Structures are given as C-alpha cells and as structure tokens.
Structure 1
Amino acid sequence: MDVETVVQEQRQDGEDGVAAVAFKRIRGDIIAGILPPTRKLKLEQLKAQYGTSVSTLREILNRLASESLVVAEGQRGFEVAAATPANLREVADLRLLLESHALRLSLSAGDLDWEGRVVAARHKLSVVETQLLKGDMGRTLQWVHYDFAFHNALISACGSQTLLDLHASVFDRFIRYHLLAATFRGAAVMDDHRALFDLAMARDIEPCVIKLTSHIRAGVEHVLGSGRI
C-alpha cells in the first residue's frame, strides 16, 4: 500500500469520525429539545455549530429524516419534525408493538446474566427516581438514560439485535415528547417500574405485558396533560 493511499484512508477515517460525532450530537439535541420542533435547519448555521461540512450535514439530516426526527422539504431544506398529539400516539403504539414482542421473547429466554442486567438497571433507575421525587429535577436527563437502560435490559434477551435497534430508535422518539413536556410523572412511574421488575423476575409474561401497556399509555396521557404538546 503506497503512502498516498494510507493518507487518503486516514483522512476518510477522520471524516467518518467527525460525521459520527455530529450525527450523535444533532440527534441528541433534537431528542432533548435543544433543536425544537419545526426549527428550520439551516446548513450554514449547523456547519458552524457542529463543525462539519455541508455535504456531511445533508447526509446526517437525511438519516434523521429516515427516523422521522427531521422532515426533508425538497428544495426548501430541512426542519425538525413537529411534535403533535397524533404523532405521540403513533410512536407510543409502535413502541408498544416492538417492546411487547421483545418482552415476551426475553422473559421466555432470559438467563442468570439477563437477571443481573435487569437488577442492576432497576437499582440505578430507582436511585435516580427517588432523587427526582425529592425535587432534584436536574436529574431529568439522567433519568431518561436509566429509564431506557431499564426497559432495554428487560428485553435484552429477546435474541434479535435488529429488534433491539428498532426499539431503541422508537424509544428515543417517544422520550423526546417527555423531554418536551419537561415534567416527571412522579410516584406512579416508580410504581410501574417496580411492578414491571417484579413481574419480569417472576417470568409472569402476560401480566408483565399488560403492565407495560398501561405504563406506556399513562406516559402518553401525562405528556398530553402537560399542555406543552
């Protein structure tokens, strides 16, 4: 391999690394509401903000459009996807479809290592939720992280990485609404997580799916009741 080829490959690796970081940052900022719904995404502004090229930004925004986090407006460019009650319910239905299926598979197949992951995730989530109940709202983003980790642990023995990846993408779209609502559901969500944990450990599959359903539905109503969507 000649020197020129090596240099080109190193340059490509560097560009790929920058693109990956920019993708993660832009996606995270949309989910967190830093880039709010319907915000026009002007490429020159994003170039300065995220430190990447216009061509790379177009690729990133098209990827995010495939996740329904961004809307491509043809010749008019891109904007952050709107947040609407109808879309929230649609995302919740999709999450429930994926997570219920994965939960059934996982509870049937989960071994001791799976139990360990669920126990650890449950403990971390409980600690953060206790702090939130005490009024430490600065832990909201930490709660989002551990909430996903708990639900992901519950379904982690489903045996399908594709299913896990799809669920993670939809979960992010769902949690975006919670971050826009900017409120914590309180003791009720802790009770739900405790019940999900107990039912999962008992491998009580259908009651666990029923609890998951009511948990997600209650989350939807909480977000809509915030008046921010």
Structure 2
Amino acid sequence: MTTVTDTLSTAPTTRTSSLVAQLRMDIIGGVFAPGSKLLIKDLCTRYGASPIPMREALSRLTSSGFVQAEDQRGFKVASASAQDLAEISGARMLVETEALRLSVLQGDVAWESRVVAAHHQLSRLAVREATAPAALSAQWDEAHMAFHDALLSACGSRVLLELAANLRERFTRYRYISALAAGRSGGPPAAAAPAPRDIPAEHSAIVEAALARDVARATALLQQHFQQTTELALAASGMQGTPGQRKAAVG
C-alpha cells in the first residue's frame, strides 16, 4: 500500500528525473545550442517546474556531461568542439567494443533474439524525416540506441552499460549538431566529405558477426562503424579537428 509519506518522498525525485530526461533530450536534439545559457527561471516556465527540482536536474546533467556549471553565473549547455567529440568517440569505442566482446562470448538465445528483433526494427526505419530531409528521425534514433543496447545487453556489467549509454547520448548530440550544420550549409565541402556509407549494411554485418560468435570481426566492424560515424560528424559540422584529434577519435 502506498502511503502519503511514500508519495511525498518519491514525488520530488520522480519530478527531477523527468526534468533530467526532458532537458537531456532537448539538449541532444539541439533545442538548446551548445554554450547557451540555461536560466532557471526561463526553464521553470518552459517545463512547468519549480526551482528546486530544476536546479537538481541541471546538477545531474552537469555530472553526466550535458551541462556546465559556471561559478556564480548559473548553468549553460556543454560546449561542442572537435576535441570533445574525439574524446567522447574514443571512450565510446573502448567501452562498447569491450561490452560487445563480452556479450558475444556470454550471450544466450535470449540475447540473440533481442539483437535480431532490435536490428529488424531499425532496418525498417529511415534515418531522416521524410518531410524534412535535413532532420534526423527521432524514431530511427530511438531504434538505433535500442539496437546498440541489445548488442551489449549480455555483457554482464552494469557499469559498462551505464557508461555506454551516457557516451552514446553525448555522441548523439554531435550527430544532431552536424545534421543541423549540414542542413544550413547544404552539406560538408566536397573535399571534406567522407565516402558514401551504407549504414544498414554496416549494422547487418555487425549483427552477422556477433551471432556467428566471431569476436574479432564483430568488434572490428563496430570500431569501423564508429570511425566512419565520427568522421562524418566532424565533416558535416565543420569541426574537422587536428590529425591528432581525428586519430584519437578512432582509436
């Protein structure tokens, strides 16, 4: 039976968690530009919240890398740079390839079923919105995250899964930034644009290798997938970075 005390003790936490999720998705989706001020009063009006849970939500997003706290000046959206993208991409590659390695070694039939189902759902969706070709499809993006979650789901490490989820969301913000930049400019310069990709084929190859229990091939394909995605994000956003940064981004 739920008591009044239970309700009072869980309601603030639930509200704060909801605000964290809303703000995180709006930051990822580009509603708030990198480096822009996040005024608590304005955010409270926008999300229908009170200052205390809003401040707590911003503090949580600071610890997860989406928001930056400024001494005596409040909060702002985390800045975006080639160096930051390189570090996020490099860390994501290390975490997800290890989690995939463990999943391929340990995964059972239930894991195989999750991977096949998530891949099938993803393969049925378009990457971009039909009515706005420059915009990434939110439905595809959700299915894409679920696909990577399924691949890693048998790793047996809660810490690896939490790290992977955080890094994936932080990397997704750069995909939205690059999509918006490419939409405004008509795409990256021809000299900077990576070779055309067949993303569904990349996903299919990773699934095939994982289900065949080919650890070396599955992890190598995932690394290549990350490398190409990072290069595309750098090119489309105009943040080419130094050769050292590009090398760091791809391991």
Deviation at 1:66, TM superposition (A): 0.8
Deviation at 1:228, TM superposition (A): 5.1
Q: Give the aligned residue type for 2:33.
A: P
2:224 paired with 1:224: no
Counterpart contact for 1:47–1:53, Cα < 8 Å: yes
- Taking only aligned residues, the RMSD between alpha carbons, in angstroms, comes to 2.2
* Residue among 199, 209, 225 paired with 2:219: 209
Q: Give the aligned residue type for 1:70.
A: V
* Residue among 56, 59, 64 paired with 2:61: 64
Counterpart contact for 1:71–1:79, Cα < 8 Å: yes
TM-score w.r.t. structure 1 length? 0.90
Deviation at 1:50, TM superposition (A): 1.4
* Residue among 99, 108, 113 paired with 1:111: 108
- Return the alpha-carbon distance in structure 2 between the equivalents of residues 139 and 120 of structure 1: 22
2:71 paired with 1:74: yes
1:36-51 alignment, distance < 5 Å: 36-51=33-48
Show the counterpart of 1:140: 137
- Following TM superposition, where does structure 1 have runs of at least 4 consecutive aligned residues deviating by more than 3 angstroms? 6-9, 131-139, 183-187
| 1:9–1:113 distance in 2 versus 1, CA, 3 Å | closer
TM-score w.r.t. structure 2 length? 0.82
Larger helix percent = 1
2:5 paired with 1:22: no
Q: Give the aligned residue type for 1:221.
A: E
2:160 paired with 1:163: yes
- Return the alpha-carbon distance in structure 2 between the equivalents of residues 77 and 22 of structure 1: 17
Fraction of identical pairs, as percent: 37
Counterpart contact for 1:121–1:153, Cα < 8 Å: yes
- Return the alpha-carbon distance in structure 2 between the equivalents of residues 208 and 71 of structure 1: 36
Pick which of 93-102 and 181-190 moved more: 181-190
Note the residue ranges of structure 1 that are not aligned, 5 or more in a row. Answer: 1-5
Q: Deviations over 1:46-71 (max 9, x none)?
A: 11111222122221111111111111
How many aligned residue pairs are there? 223
Counterpart contact for 1:180–1:228, Cα < 8 Å: no
Counterpart contact for 1:85–1:224, Cα < 8 Å: yes
- Return the alpha-carbon distance in structure 2 between the equivalents of residues 25 and 202 of structure 1: 39
Matched residue SS, 2:35 = coil
- Return the alpha-carbon distance in structure 1 between the equivalents of residues 197 and 234 of structure 2: 18
- Return the alpha-carbon distance in structure 1 between the equivalents of residues 48 and 115 of structure 2: 38
| 1:109–1:128 distance in 2 versus 1, CA, 3 Å | same
2:31 paired with 1:34: yes
Q: Give the aligned residue type for 2:97.
A: S
Deviation at 1:19, TM superposition (A): 1.6
- Return the alpha-carbon distance in structure 2 between the equivalents of residues 193 and 133 of structure 1: 20
2:207 paired with 1:197: yes
Matched residue SS, 1:33 = coil
Q: Deviations over 1:5-55 (max 9, x none)?
A: x54543333322222211110111111111121110001001111122212
Show the counterpart of 1:127: 124
Pick which of 118-127 and 138-147 moved more: 138-147
Counterpart contact for 2:129–2:136, Cα < 8 Å: no
- Return the alpha-carbon distance in structure 2 between the equivalents of residues 74 and 93 of structure 1: 29
Counterpart contact for 1:19–1:52, Cα < 8 Å: no
Q: Deviations over 1:145-189 (max 9, x none)?
A: 111111111111001122111110111001111111227997521
Pick which of 187-196 and 200-209 moved more: 187-196
Counterpart contact for 1:22–1:51, Cα < 8 Å: no
